[in-house]
Amino acid sequence: MKKLLSLATALLAVCPLMAQGNEQIHVFRNDGKFATHRSAYISGMKFANDKMTVTTADGKDHVYPMSAVDSCVVRTTGIPDIYVNLIDYPEWTELQGAKDDVRAATLYMNGNGMYDDLEEQTVEFRGRGNSTWKMDKKPYRFKMAKKKSVCGLPKAKTFALLANNIDCTLMRNSIAMWIANYLEIPYSNHMVPVNVYLNGIHKGQYVMTEKIGIGGGSVDIDETTGMLFELDTNYDEDFKFRYNWDEKTVAKSIPVMVKDPDLAELAEDPEVPGITDAAEYLAKWKADFAVMADAVIKRTPSESLSDVLDIDAAANYFLVFCLTGNHEIHHPKSVYIHKKSLDPAEVYHFGPVWDFDWAFTFNGKEGAPANEPLIVIDGKASGYTFFKHIMQNKEFRAAFKAKFDAFVEVGYPKLKSFMAEYATLIEPSAKENGLLWPTRRDQGSRYNVVGSFDFRTNLATLEKWIDARIKYMKSDPNYGLYK
C-alpha cells in the first residue's frame, strides 16, 4: 500500500502539468512487460485495490497490478516519432523488393518536445545498407523535395534511418559518433534517436543521421574537383577499381569504390570543366590513389607519409575504430577516405567514420573480447596489410599515442557522462524496441541477436567492455591496433 500511495502521489502531482500532449508515462514492470502512455491520449487515471488503471481516449482501461509495477517515469519530452505511410502500398507491413526501389510516401514527425515537428510531406522512401538490409529489422532512407534541417542536423534533402538491429544497447553508433565529434574529425555524423512507424506499424527505435556523401550535410568539399572513396569488399558501386600490390591474390588488393560524386552526371554536365568522360576521369583518380597507396605499402616505417596522407586525421580515425573494437576495417568495409582535388599538393584524409553496430561487444555474436587487436586476419583480408603499414609508421604512432593519452585523461570521463545521459533518454524506447524485436535467431542474417529489453543489463556490459578495452590499449605495445 505504501508503494501504491507514493506512486499515486507522484503521478497525480505531475499529471495536471500535462497540457501539450507530448508528455509520457512510462510504466516499467517487473514481470517482463513494459508500457508507455502519452498524455494526449489519457482520459483518466485511478488507483484502487492495489491496481493502477490508465484509461485512454478510446475508452480502454489499461490495468496494472501494483505488484507488477517496478516504477513509473513521467517525462515532459520524448524522442521524436517519425510516421511514414506508403502511398501505393498502404497494406505493406515492411518494405518489399530491392533496397534501391524507391517508394512514394508521406512522412511527418512529432518532435515530442525535443525538436520542432516536421509537417507532413511527400518523400521518396527506400531501404539502405548492405548486410543490414538483409536483416529482420530494416534500415531506411528518405528524401525530401527541398533541403531542410531535421532535428538540428545540417540542412539536406536525404537522411538515413539506421535500425541498430544487432545492437542490444542501441547506443554503439551514437557512442562512436560522439567520439568522432569529440576528436573533431571533420564531417562526422550525428545521431538522433527516433521511433519509426511504417504504415501505422511501430518498427522500433532507430537513429536518424546524415547520408554520407559530398555536400553541405556531410563531406563539405567541391564535387566537381573532389572525391569521396569507400573501401569496401561489397564492391557494388558503378564506378570502382582495385589497388593491387600483388596481383596474384585478392587479399593483397584494396577494393576502392566511388561513393560520391556521380561521375556519370558530372561528365554529362556542360558546366563542369575538364570532365567529359567518366571512365577517363576515374582513371586519373585511380592513378592518384595509387601514388598514396604505393607510399603506404613501399615506404619504411621511419619514412614520412605526410606528403600523401593526413597523419592527424588517420590517427583520429583509427582511434575511433580501436576504442570501439570495429574489426570490419580489416576486410575492409565502410572505410571512407576523401581528397579535395587532384592537385598534388593536396593529401588524402580518412573519414568520415561509419558503421559501428558490428563493434564493441558484438563480433558475429555478443561476448566479443575487449583485448583483441583491431586488425587480426593476417594474409586473409585485404585491409590487414594496407592498414598495418600505416599503423607501423613512426609519425602515425606518435600522433596516435598523443591522441589516445589525451582521450583517456579528458575525453573518457566526458564519454561516460554522455552515455549516462543518452541512456536515460532512450531507455523507455529501448524497452519498447526489445518487445518488438526480442532476443532471437535473426532470420535475415542468421545471427543470434540479443534484444534491447534488458537495457540496463546490456548497458552495464557495454560500459565494462569499454573500460576493459581502454586498459588493454594502455598496456599493449601497439595500443591494441595490431599484433
380-389 pLDDT, tens digit each: 778 888 999 9
Residue 405, C-beta contacts closer than 8 angstroms, at least 6 positions apart:
none
Query: Within a domain: residue 68?
Result: yes
Choose the final residue of a domain: 75, 97, 126.
Answer: 75
DSSP 418: H
Q: What is the C-alpha R_g of the chain?
A: 25
What CATH number does residue 62 fall under? 2.30.30
Cell of 135: 536483416
Q: What is the mean pLDDT of residues 138-156?
A: 96
Looking at the structure, tell me whether residues 194 and 106 fall in a common domain: yes
- The C-alpha cell of 59 is what? 475508452
State the DSSP code for 362. Answer: B
Question: What is the chain's mean pLDDT, rounded?
Answer: 91
Domain check: are 26 and 68 in the same one? yes
Q: Are residues 163 and 87 in the same domain?
A: yes
pLDDT confidence tier of residue 71, bands split at 50, 70 and 90? confident
Tell me, yes or no, whether 132 and 23 share the same domain. no
Asked, for residue 124, whether it belongs to a domain, the answer is: yes
Kindly tell me if the per-residue pLDDT of 414 is higher than 90. Answer: yes
Query: Do residue 65 and residue 90 come from a single domain?
Result: no
Angle (CA) 462 465 469, round 5°: 140
Same domain, 57 and 88: no
Q: Is position 96 within any domain?
A: yes
Dist. CA 27–CA 376, nearest whole Å:
45
Shared domain for 68 and 122, answered yes or no, is: no
- Supply the pLDDT for residue 250: 59
Q: Of 25, 47, 75, which marks where a domain is finished?
A: 75
**Which of these, 204, 184, 182, lies nearest to 194 by C-alpha position?**
204
Alpha helices in 270-393 (DSSP H): 278-298, 311-324, 382-392
**117 and 206 belong to one structural domain:** yes
- Long-range pairs for 222-226: beta carbons < 8 A, 24 or more residues apart: 222/340, 222/341, 223/260, 223/261, 223/266, 224/261, 224/266, 224/272, 224/273, 224/275, 225/340, 225/341, 225/342, 226/261, 226/338, 226/339, 226/340, 226/341
Coil vs helix vs strand at 377: coil
Burial label for 205, CB within 10 Å (0-12, 13-18, 19+), is buried
- The one-letter code for the residue type at 312 is D
Query: Residue 392 and residue 188: Cα distance in Å, rounded?
Result: 25
Q: How many angstroms separate the CA atoms of 266 and 272, rounded?
A: 6
DSSP string, 218-233: SB-S-TTT-EEEEE-T
Q: At what angle are helices 172-182 and 311-324 packed, to 10 degrees?
A: 150
Residue 67 covered by a domain: yes
Following DSSP, what letter does each residue of 100-140 receive, concatenated? T--EEEEEEEE-TTTS--EEEEEEEEEE--SGGGGSSS--E
For residue 128, what are the domain limits? 81-177+184-210
Q: Do both 91 and 70 map to the same domain?
A: no
Phi, psi of 46 (to 5 degrees): -150, 155
In a shared domain, residues 137 and 173: yes
Q: Are residues 41 and 161 in the same domain?
A: no
191 found inside a domain: yes
Kindly state whether residue 157 falls inside one of the protein's structural domains: yes
Whether 272 is in a domain gets the answer: no
pLDDT value at residue 14: 43
Q: Which residues make beta-bridge pairs with 441? A: 448
The C-alpha atoms of residue 443 and residue 449 are separated, in whole angstroms, by 10
Number of domains into which the chain is organized? 2
Which value, to the nearest 10 degrees, does the dihedral of the CA atoms of residues 394, 399, 400, 406 take?
A: 150
Q: How confident is the model at residue 362 (pLDDT cuts 50, 70, 90)?
A: very high
Question: Please, which residues have CB within 8 angstroms of residue 116's CB and are 6 or more apart in sequence?
Answer: none
Q: Looking at residue 376, what is its pLDDT?
A: 85
- Please write the tens of the pLDDT for every residue from 231-285: 999 999 999 999 998 766 656 889 999 999 999 999 999 999 989 999 999 999 9
Task: Kindly state the percentage of the chain with pLDDT values over 90.
Answer: 77
Domain-terminating residue out of 26, 58, 75: 75
Measured over the CA atoms of residue 474, residue 464, residue 447 and residue 180, the dihedral's sign is negative
Q: Do 88 and 66 share a structural domain?
A: no
